Structure 1
């Protein structure tokens, strides 16, 4: 892992999240009728809201399709949602093509092979301790928290701290 430079982090205007293994534990839970259930961590939700309050847009790119992800995305105000996309970098390029964002202004967090090309391409590529070792080898940074246990929040705060915005955001809660 190579530590990202402060300059790279200061230029981030788009933060992109994988879902399974990042915003959830990565376990797939199914009810008897076949309906999938996902469990999200509220710490991550507030982290995403803090990013947006700081002027950083957000995106979810996930390999699976899930109504729960769409509902969570809407509830948080996620700017861009791409579901059913194993081709994460292609999906990310679609976002870049329609916005002012690009690789040098994007941070991405993912945990497995489909995330790898996006992690490598972005200015800041992150993963989690329970991510695949090959992904960890190529990421710039690894959270201390596991996926589904606040890793997304840690990613958000790492960016906000580097940009000098975290303390001001915390003050809103005093």
Structure 2
């Protein structure tokens, strides 16, 4: 017997997933492979470049504007990430961390949230501890296959190409806050 579903822009999702999305108050994101496509461009002078999608930025701003906190927890350290996340209004930016579960726990305590109110999106093995702990674990479409198996939801979009926006749209849809409105792409 087929499980009841909810129709979204990204396809059918189960009613139980839709119900889980309604509880989310904090989204914890990895960066490389989630906000970016995972590639790092290095110039001859040692400069580092990453590409970020404006749709993901719009989704982050929409979450924050609707009372859902967004945090970044990444193993690499980069000025580019700091600047991009600050421009989006992300206040909790943890870079160069190898203990992602410890940071997850700090964020849960800071916002006084239980696991069911937290979503975590990541693409590779270091992210699995947060994906498994969160009430909603998410992996981008092009995440490592084992990581996808650990997730509750795999986005239809790839990392760096709208995966964060898809998650934000689904959260806002489930919470009755998804609105088509004008604004500036970020």
TM-score relative to the length of structure 2: 0.86
Say whether residues 1:96 and 2:108 are aligned partners.
yes
Query: Matched residues in 2 for 1:162 and 1:97: separation?
Result: 25
Query: Matched residues in 2 for 1:105 and 1:126: separation?
Result: 14
Moved over 4 A (4+): none
- CA displacement at 1:148 relative to structure 2: 0.6
TM-score relative to the length of structure 1: 0.92
Mark the runs of 5 or more structure 1 residues left unpaired by the alignment.
none
Query: Matched residues in 2 for 1:5 and 1:42: separation?
Result: 26
The 8 Å contact of residues 26 and 147 in structure 1, kept in 2 or not, is answered as yes
Count of aligned pairs: 170
- CA displacement at 1:79 relative to structure 2: 2.5
What does 1:46-125 align with in structure 2 at a 5 Å threshold? 46-125=58-137
Query: Matched residues in 2 for 1:30 and 1:5: separation?
Result: 39
- CA displacement at 1:61 relative to structure 2: 0.5
Mark the runs of 5 or more structure 2 residues left unpaired by the alignment.
1-12
Q: 1:10 aligns with which of 8, 13, 22?
A: 22
- CA displacement at 1:129 relative to structure 2: 1.5
Larger Cα-atom Rg: 2
More relative contact order in 1 or in 2 (CA 8 Å, sep 6+)? 1
Q: Indicate the SS of the match to 1:64.
A: coil
Say whether residues 1:173 and 2:185 are aligned partners.
no
- CA displacement at 1:68 relative to structure 2: 0.4
Query: Matched residues in 2 for 1:81 and 1:102: separation?
Result: 20
Aligned residue for 2:141? 129
Say whether residues 1:158 and 2:170 are aligned partners.
yes
Q: Indicate the SS of the match to 1:20.
A: coil
